[in-house]
Amino acid sequence: MTKRGGGKTESIDHMKTILCIGAGYVGGPTMAMIARKCPEYKVHVVDIDAARIKAWQSDNLPIYEPGLKELVKASLNRNLFFSTDIARGIAEADIIFVSVNTPTKTFGQGAGRAADLQYWEKTAREILAHSKSDKIVVEKSTLPVRTAEAMERILRSGRPEAKFEVLSNPEFLAEGTAMKDLENPDRVLVGGHDTETGRRAVKELVDIYAHWIPRDRILTASVWSSELSKLAANAFLAQRISSINSLSALCESTEADVAEVARAIGMDQRIGSRFLQASVGFGGSCFKKDILNLVYLCEHYGLHEAAAYWEQVVRMNEYQEDRFVRRMIAAMFNTVAGKRIAVFGFAFKADTGDTRESPAIRVVRELVEERASVVVSDPKALANARRDLADIADRVVFDEDPLKGAAGAHALAVLTDWADYARLDYARIFAGMVKPAFVFDGRNCLDHRRLFEIGFNVYPVGKRPLSHL
């Protein structure tokens, strides 16, 4: 097999090989970017999930992310390969990224808080079993601080002829903007040991990123600092959302407007304006899991006050989701039983089909519990929504078309900030709804004044309702 790289044709079998174990939201996009930017590397992505691998090789990628399809296409089967042959992938690799899932543990010690490291540990053992030469092993997954130590212990327990250097290189991309984040990140973080082999491994990884990222944005740190920085970054981001959401509750009680408050505080450069958008709550696979992981670590080291501080960020988020439903019920004369409610958006944010920890899950479940008749629409997330609500599927209707969902409804609940929702013909929607008609905008993404003028009773988050009643 030959391939053109750096202007000359070379055998792909002699190119340096990067392997990524785990072809998910992080592994797939990250490796597609590295393959594109580093044509002299062969990039191989493996997964135990054969259907997922097949999808990566097709036109129908397993995840939706703007710009991803084009990026994968540019390198697929040139220097980017997907397969389920993990053993061969490990044997051939010079650098191995591990990007498997690290969900919250649901059993035993630390259940509901600690990270479930079973997939991670299995990978370490597989690397050990199939390695015949030295490798750099890169932690891409988000892991509790000092996990690299466990990885190193497992890797050192085998044959002495293969040596391993473990690095931490957490990923900071956000879904929906993954391509932009990978192409132009605020920073890349590489953690390594301050030893000769450690420094050499760090340099090799830094040089890969330096193909397209300015060197002053590529930070190096100790492995432990790097691991902890990832948990800390997510905790800080989520904390900002919980902080503004806590104020949104106070705004609703005092007629202050949370958007005005956010603007006023965000213009202070020491605070900054981002991640101050009040909402029905934050979702996504990582914020809650990573904070709970941080809480568990603090508890483990006996730092109970620090644990309680961070745990409150998650509790505030749950409060916000519950509060949203309580406000709906109160506004609709204290009952939603038998009322049709059109849910606009099920993804945890716009521009993704991902529904993991989406606030919509809790909101829809609570509405169904109240015997509302719920119709869920979403442009990209309906398949996942059906899975998330499988146990109550007989009590929920799914329809891709929000207009159909809204026909005959008593209320609209906007739970994802899809840009298309702001462009719908609300006068027409209003005409087809039961009166009085309500809008509960959990993302503050609609034109509330205009909706009110059309005739809706409008309930934004953290703002005074615009009501005709």
- As given in the structure block, the two tokens for residue 239 are 């904390």
Neighbours of 449 (CB within 10 A): 10
The reply to whether 283 sits near ligand UGA by the rule CB under 6 A is yes
Identity of the residue, 102 or 239, whose beta carbon is nearer to ligand NAD in the bound complex: 102
Which residues neighbour 216 within 8 Å (Cβ) at sequence distance 6 or greater?
A: none
Q: What 8-state DSSP symbol labels residue 275?
A: T
104 binds, among ligand NAD, ligand UGA, none (CB under 5 to 8 A by kind): none
Window contacting ligand UGA (CB under 6 A); options: 32-40, 165-173, 221-229, 371-379: 165-173
Question: What is the enclosing helix (H) or strand (E) of 78?
Answer: none
Closest CA to 48 of 126, 107, 117: 126
The reply to whether 168 sits near ligand UGA by the rule CB under 6 A is no
Give catalytic status of residue 38 as yes or no: no
Window contacting ligand NAD (CB under 6 A); options: 100-108, 181-189, 273-281, 400-408: 100-108
The reply to whether 443 sits near ligand NAD by the rule CB under 6 A is no
Among 12, 48, 265, 466, binds ligand NAD (CB under 6 A): 48
The reply to whether 26 sits near ligand NAD by the rule CB under 6 A is yes
CB 345 within 8 A of CB 360: yes
Strands 411-414 vs 438-441: parallel, antiparallel or unpaired: parallel
Distance CA 89, CA 85 (A): 6
The reply to whether 234 sits near ligand UGA by the rule CB under 6 A is yes
Question: What is the enclosing helix (H) or strand (E) of 83?
Answer: strand 80-83
376 binds, among ligand NAD, ligand UGA, none (CB under 5 to 8 A by kind): none
Indicate the Cα dihedral angle 301, 304, 310, 313, nearest 10°.
Answer: 150
The reply to whether 27 sits near ligand NAD by the rule CB under 6 A is yes
Neighbours of 77 (CB within 10 A): 11
Please state the closest distance from residue 305 (CB atom) to ligand UGA, in A. 25
The reply to whether 282 sits near ligand UGA by the rule CB under 6 A is yes
Candidates 20, 38, 251, 286; catalytic one: 286
**Burial environment of residue 6 by CB neighbours within 10 A (0 to 12, 13 to 18, 19 or more):** exposed
CB 366 within 8 A of CB 325: yes
The reply to whether 43 sits near ligand UGA by the rule CB under 6 A is no
Q: Using CB under 6 A, list all residues that contact ligand NAD.
A: 21-27, 46-49, 52, 86, 99-102, 119, 122-123, 141-142, 171, 173, 175, 285-286
State the catalytic residues: 286
**Contact footprint for ligand UGA (CB under 6 A):** 142, 171-175, 234, 237, 241, 275-277, 279, 282-287, 348-349
